[in-house]
Structure formats: C-alpha cells, structure tokens
Amino acid sequence: MNAMSLPVTALDGSFSHHGSAANIASLATQSLLLELETWPKPGLVSHIDTGSHSDMDASTFRESAYAIEPYLRSLVVAGANGDHMTRLRSIGIAAETAMLSATSGINTHRGAIFGMGLLCAAAGARENGVVNSRLSLGGAVRELWGQSILTGPRLANSHGAQAHLRYGVGGARAQAAKGFPSIYGVGLPALRAARLKSPDDREAQRVETCFALIAALNDTNLLHRGGEEGLRYAQRAARDFLAAGGVGTASWQLRAQAIHDSFIARSLSPGGAADLLAMTLFVDEIEGD
C-alpha cells in the first residue's frame, strides 16, 4: 500500500480520558489554529499579516491545518496500536501530500506534521496503555520512537537537514528524539508564567511563549534564512523583549510589533518556534488538566 492510498483511520476507538482519537486530533488542529491566531509573532504568518512570507497567508494555513487533521487522527490510532515508526512515517508522508494539495504546493506545516504528529501518536499510546499513562507525551515519544527518529531517513532538501550539515544543529529530529525538551523546558514554563502576567489575555500568553521559544531555540528556519547572524539577532531581540517584562508591561504590543517589523525587514521567520508554540499548546491541553 503506498502513502497516497493509506486509510485515514484504521479504527477510532474511544479512550477513557480525552475521548476518541478524533477528539485528540481536533485538539491538535485547534492548537495549530491558535498559533496562527497569535500576533505580533516576529516574522511569522498570522491572522493580521503574512510576516516575512509572500507566498502564504492565514487562509493557506487554515486550509492546511484542516487538510492534515484526518492524518493526525490516524497517528493517534497508530500510537494506540503500538505501531512502529515506519507506519507513523507513512502516515506523515500522506499528510504532507494532503497539505501540498490543499496549499497548491506551499509548505505550511511540514514541521508540525512531524512534531505534532508524533505527539498525537504518543497521546494515543498513553490513552490506550501502550506506555504508562503518567509518562509525558514527550517522554512517550522518546521511549517508543526516539532511536528510530534519529536513524530514519532525512529529507536532503529540508531546511533542518541543510542546517544540520552546515551548522551542526540537531533541529526537529533531535528535539523529538529527546522528548521535546524545548516544550517542557521552555514553552510550558513560559506559557504558565505568562498566565500570571496576563491572566485574561490568551493571545498575549501565546506571544510571550513564542518569544521565549525564539530566544532559546537554534531555529533551523532562522539559520536557513539569515545564517548564524540572523539567528543571533532573533534570539537577542526575543531575550531583550522578555528581559524588559514581556507581556507584563503596558507597551508590550508596540515593542513586539517593532521586533516583528525588524524580522520582516531582515526576511527572518522562526518557523521552528511557531511549530513548538502549537505543540506546547497541545501538550498543555492534554497534560494540564
């Protein structure tokens, strides 16, 4: 069976905690859409503008998110079945084909298909008792598929592969194999701290989380667009924003917009941080209750 003919779901069993595989996939899709509905996000596409991108906008991302949702559901099921990485990879390839069809060939969610897809599979594995239910989603990814992620095929033309060869950074593969340390060590703490700073503004909470991820991550998308100089500029700008109080100050939106504009002027786009923001929101939904 080739990737194009993969069934969308093999089963859609109900789980005791978060409902069906469809419900878990819907949470993942909503997390992708919440990432989109976040502004100012330096250099990134949002519901307000297209950031540093001329070939995509908010509607492109919405169409992409809905196109890949059935495959995220299949990944939940695959995880619940205890499937190997080969099966997960096949579903991911089918999801990428659906994404490219929906966007007329534009890569909107390749990184999210990989990272969010693994987290969806981990959610299925946890809900169905394949791994201990007390294990984090990241821990489940590391335990079940970590080695296969590192030794599996790498897309030669991907930004991550190019950055790995040129700069020696691990990118999304290393993040996943290690259990997503940037989610648990940066994203979730930033999101929860932002809730104390701005308890009534969920968009502000997401902005702060995005800045924290940009500040900490060796983002291969930034390396691809701006080299080491661009990466360091982006990290420094994000750290300065956070050090000045982040979204806890009255003028935070003006300062964030100025940084956003500076990223656009430099054609910088931290796509890895955007993917991790969406994944952080998903993990928070699954593990935070």
pLDDT digits (tens, 9 = 90+) for 182-193: 999 999 999 999
pLDDT tens figures, 207-253 = 999 999 999 999 999 999 999 999 999 999 999 999 999 999 999 99
- The pLDDT of residue 110: 95
Residue 62 CB contacts under 8 Å (≥ 6 apart), including other chains: 33, 36
The pLDDT of 88-117, averaged and rounded, is: 97
For residue 19, what is the enclosing H or E element? strand 19-20
Q: What does the pLDDT look like over 153-174, one tens digit per residue?
A: 765 455 555 554 454 456 789 9
pLDDT of residue 167: 45
Angle between helices 220-243 and 252-265 (to 10 degrees): 150
Instruction: Give the rounded distance of the alpha carbon of 279 from its chain centre.
Output: 4
Please list the residues that pair with 15 across neighbouring strands.
Answer: 19
The pLDDT score that the predictor gives to residue 17 is 62
- CA 106 to each of CA 63, 99, 119, 128: distance values in angstroms, whole numbers, following the listed order: 11, 8, 23, 35
In 3D, which of 29, 12, 32 has the Cα closest to residue 21? 12
Judging by beta carbons within 10 Å of its beta carbon (0-12, 13-18, 19+), is residue 201 exposed, middle or buried? middle
Question: What pLDDT does 13 receive?
Answer: 56
Range from 130-134, 156-160, 170-174, 201-205 carrying the lowest mean pLDDT = 156-160
Write down the residue that tokens 């997390």 correspond to.
31
Q: Quick one: tokens of 101?
A: 């069809």
Residue 83, SS3?
A: coil
When the pLDDT of each residue in the chain is averaged and rounded to a whole number, the result is 90
Query: Which comes out higher in pLDDT, residue 163 or 150?
Result: 150
Percent of the chain with pLDDT over 70: 87
Residue 281 pLDDT greater than 70, yes or no: yes
Binning pLDDT at 50, 70 and 90, where does residue 288 land? confident
- Around 226, how many Cα atoms within 13 Å sit in the side-chain half-sphere? 24
Report the distance separating Cα 120 and Cα 79, nearest Å: 8
Predicted TM-score (pTM) of the model is 0.91
Give the β-pairing of 19-20 and 14-15.
Answer: antiparallel
Higher pLDDT, 70 or 2: 70
Q: Is it the case that residue 277 has pLDDT exceeding 80?
A: yes
Any idea where the domains of the chain sit in the sequence?
A: 15-155+171-287
- The whole-number average pLDDT for the span 251-262 is 98
Bridge partner residues of 14 (DSSP) = 20
pLDDT recorded at residue 166: 54
